[in-house]
Structure 1
Amino acid sequence: MNKSKGRVEIAMICIIIGIMIVMQTKSINNLGGLVTTQRADQMLIELNQMKRENDRLQNNVITLENDISFFENEASSNNAVVEKMLRDVDAAKDQAGFTDLEGPGIIITLDYKDSDGYDPFQANSVLLLFLVNELNAAGAEAISINGERIINSSEIRLAGSHININGKKNSYPYTFNVIGNTSTLKSAVNMRDGILDIMESNYINVEVEESEKITVFKYNGTINFKYAKPIK
């Protein structure tokens, strides 16, 4: 009787333990399922955040690409502006006499070969200036006398036994290199009773030569403005 009762009690205990194991297993399964669902929700949230961040970065990429295109266009435009400015500067330097130039034109040589002590250039130094004026009026684009570039501030004046050109002493023969329309220049200086006729009447020997390639060197001095200032 006691043995049967003990067996029943053991059986009851085993049943209870079995029931407890089953319930514990179900609880663990349910807990595991709950954790998995929460993790999935969390991952979905993170995925949405990553998508939003990716969209933001894509928009930044588009913005940066647009900026790059803008700056490239601006750089190209600025290069064009800079190139134009440089061309303008070069043109201004050409006109001001600060670059060597080459082109067609005429070469005028003025000389005096008598040896009686008379120097027609000293007596009539202003004739050189008159010739420069005639050449400019005929459209000369560049003029040099004995290699001295004539610019708007050049002086041609008698200084003792010499003629100063750009502050440097010069004596005959005087060679004018003149770039411009050859026929126009030649016609201007050779006109009847013109400047060359006046020179010849003052015992100056004149020779005029046409050339397709004349070099006029740049002005080597400096120009300093002490009183004149640009108007803003």
Structure 2
Amino acid sequence: MKSKQLIFAFVFLLLGFLLTFSYQHTKSTAEIVQVNDQEWERDYYYRKQLIDMEEKNKQLRDELNKIRQEVQETEQELANGAADLKDLVETKANLQKLTGELPIVGDGVAITLSDASYIPSEDHANQYIVHDRHIHKTVNELYSAGAKAIAINGQRIYRNSYISCVGPVVSVDGSVHPAPFVISAIGDQEILEVSLNLKNGVIDMLVQDNIEVTVEKETNIEMFAKDM
């Protein structure tokens, strides 16, 4: 009888131990699973944060590239605008040089018109001196040949300048100049010279009127701006 009681006691003791061990193991396993779930949630959170950050960086890079493109386009527009403005300024300056508002320097020719060195006693002296019509024809021919600026004895003239004879001298815009008359013209030297020497042209007409004419090429002819 006691032997059976001992056996039952041992069995119950063993069963209690197994139940206690099983409970502890189950509790531990549950804690491990719970910890693993927390780690997974934390890992998922960080991964999501990283994905969101990468997406935000991509958006920022796209915006930066767009801004850079806009800056480049703006810079190009400014450069084109500056080039256009420079061209306008140069054009304005060139026009001011042609109108006499600014001084001008350049190569060209110098035509000297002189009274005849010999006047026959039987002829009238008026037939052997330079008149305003001779100067007018010479100036008009030079302008037609593309002269940019013209001066008579150093006095710059303009499209509306007034040239007239006053006895043996010539008046240019009220200033009197005696012969010889040096007409300087800035422009293409070859074209100006060819134009003056055309057959039956200006020089031929001047020679027929007993005017002594010389034509020379000159460099760095300087003409001042008119007084405003």
Aligned length: 196
Cα distance change, pair 18–71 in 1 and its aligned pair in 2 (3 A): same
1:185 aligns with 2:219: no
Over alpha carbons, which structure has the higher Rg?
Answer: 2
Secondary structure in 2 matching 1:92: helix
The share of aligned pairs that are identical, in percent, is 18
Task: Report the Cα distance in structure 2 between the residues aligned to 1:68 and 1:139, rounded to whole angstroms.
Answer: 45
Pairing of 1:1-232 with structure 2 (within 5 A): 29-97=32-100, 98-110=102-114, 124-125=131-132, 127-137=134-144, 139-157=146-164, 163-166=170-173, 168-179=175-186, 180-187=191-198, 188-191=201-204, 194-195=205-206, 197-198=208-209, 200=210, 206-211=212-217, 213-222=218-227
The gaps in structure 1 that reach 5 residues or longer are 1-14, 224-232
Counterpart contact for 1:100–1:218, Cα < 8 Å: yes
User: Could you say what the CA RMSD is over the residues aligned between the two structures, in angstroms?
Assistant: 4.2
Q: Which amino acid aligns with 2:77?
A: E
Q: How far apart, CA to CA, are the structure 2 residues paired with 1:133 and 1:196?
A: 17
CA contact (8 A) 1:144 1:216 kept: no
Give the alignment's TM-score, normalised by structure 2: 0.61
Query: Shift in Å at residue 99 of structure 1?
Result: 4.4
1:74-93 CA-partner distances (Å, limit 9, x unpaired): 34533543454345335434
> Structure 2 regions of 5+ residues with no counterpart?
1-16, 119-124
* Cα displacement (A) at 1:60: 1.4
User: Is contact 2:131–2:170 with CA below 8 Å preserved after alignment?
Assistant: no
- Does the 8 A contact of 1:94 with 1:101 survive in 2? no
C-alpha separation in 2, matches of 1:30 and 1:222: 102
Change (3 A) 1:85 1:186: same
2:109 maps to a residue whose letter is G
